[in-house]
């Protein structure tokens, strides 16, 4: 049902970007001749490109209207996907896993967030992270000691991966994932002793915490 995104050619992408840029800069779209002049070709080349873009669903053309170009696939309103359970093997950042999209500037977090993760336990309560909080995660596969990470743990029953927030600490080949709650035991993983009784890699770093959004007051 949705539009099949772009099998746009590089040239067509250039032209689309030019239109977007001019729209932002001027407040109104360029004319066909504006486009032609900018790229150094004839007006009809611009027209051909516009028709190609229209055919591919990127723009809509109002016949006989000067500058009658409407962007269809426009603003990706800067937002963040809220990721739920992760299908095993699928890349973390795959937006197909998104539960919701929140209109939230990724740059508000530090480091900038790539996705959000909803906390579902009280295991990090002593770090001021409550159940239901949305944590901004910067996707990266390594972490420094003491950082709070989104750990991707394989769930044996169910066959999916789950993201859990833990404080990361590594000494040699031994990784410890600490909860910030005395009622939880730390998880200890020795990277030098692989496979053991688990089938797949039991653990990987999905990213590091860059901040937190709580959408409501505590009860």
- Is-catalytic flag, 123? yes
- Is-catalytic flag, 166? yes
Tokens of 66: 């000067």
Q: Residue 202 in contact with residue 153, Cβ under 8 Å? A: yes
Partner interacting with residue 171 (select from a second copy, DNA, none; CB below 5-8 Å by kind): none
DSSP state of 111: S
Tokens of 78: 């800067």
CA dihedral defined by 199, 201, 202, 204, rounded to 10 degrees?
Answer: -160
187 binds DNA (CB under 7 A): no
Partner interacting with residue 127 (select from a second copy, DNA, none; CB below 5-8 Å by kind): a second copy
Q: Give exposure, 30-46, as e/b (b: 16+ Cβ within 10 Å).
A: bbbebbbeeeeeeeebb
Partner interacting with residue 47 (select from a second copy, DNA, none; CB below 5-8 Å by kind): DNA
> If binding means CB under 8 A, how many residues of this protein chain bind a second copy?
42
Classify residue 73 by burial, with Cβ atoms within 10 Å: 0-12, 13-18, 19+. Answer: middle
Give the Cα separation of 43 and 67 in Å (integer).
13
Restricting to residues 16-75, name those near a second copy by CB under 8 A: 23, 26-29, 31, 62, 65-71
22 binds DNA (CB under 7 A): no
Residue owning tokens 């030098």: 192
When the beta carbons of 39 and 154 are compared against DNA, the nearer one is 39
When the beta carbons of 26 and 105 are compared against DNA, the nearer one is 26
Angle between the 32-39 and 10-26 helix axes, to the nearest 10 degrees? 120
- Pick from 45, 127, 139, 153: which binds a second copy (CB under 8 A)? 127
Which among 42-50, 138-146, 150-158, 192-200 is the span making contact with DNA, rule CB under 7 A?
42-50
* β-pair partners for 178: 167
Catalytic residues: 123, 166
Query: Which residues of this protein are in contact with a second copy, per CB under 8 A?
Result: 23, 26-29, 31, 62, 65-71, 102-105, 108-110, 125, 127-130, 133, 146-148, 208-219
Query: Which residues of this protein are in contact with DNA, per CB under 7 A?
Result: 9-12, 31-34, 36, 39-45, 47-49, 52, 55-56, 61, 63-68
């Amino acid at each position: 049902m949705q539009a099949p995104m772009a099998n746009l050619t590089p040239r067509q992408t250039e032209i689309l970007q030019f239109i977007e840029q001019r729209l932002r800069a001027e407040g109104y779209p360029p004319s066909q001749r504006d486009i032609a002049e900018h790229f150094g070709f004839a007006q009809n080349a611009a027209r051909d490109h516009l028709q190609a873009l229209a055919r591919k669903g990127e723009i809509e053309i109002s016949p006989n209207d000067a500058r009658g170009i409407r962007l269809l696939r426009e603003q990706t309103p800067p937002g963040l996907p809220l990721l739920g359970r992760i299908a095993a093997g699928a890349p973390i950042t795959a937006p197909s896993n998104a539960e919701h999209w929140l209109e939230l500037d990724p740059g508000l977090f530090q480091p900038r967030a790539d996705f959000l993760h909803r906390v579902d336990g009280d295991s990090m309560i002593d770090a001021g992270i409550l159940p239901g909080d949305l944590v901004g995660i910067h996707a990266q596969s390594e972490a420094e000691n003491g950082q709070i990470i989104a750990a991707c743990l394989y769930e044996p029953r169910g066959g999916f991966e789950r993201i859990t927030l833990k404080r990361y600490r590594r000494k040699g080949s031994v990784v410890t994932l600490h909860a910030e709650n005395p009622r939880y035991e730390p998880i200890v993983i020795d990277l030098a002793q692989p496979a053991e009784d688990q089938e797949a890699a039991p653990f990987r770093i999905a990213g590091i915490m860059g901040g937190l959004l709580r959408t409501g007051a505590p009860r």
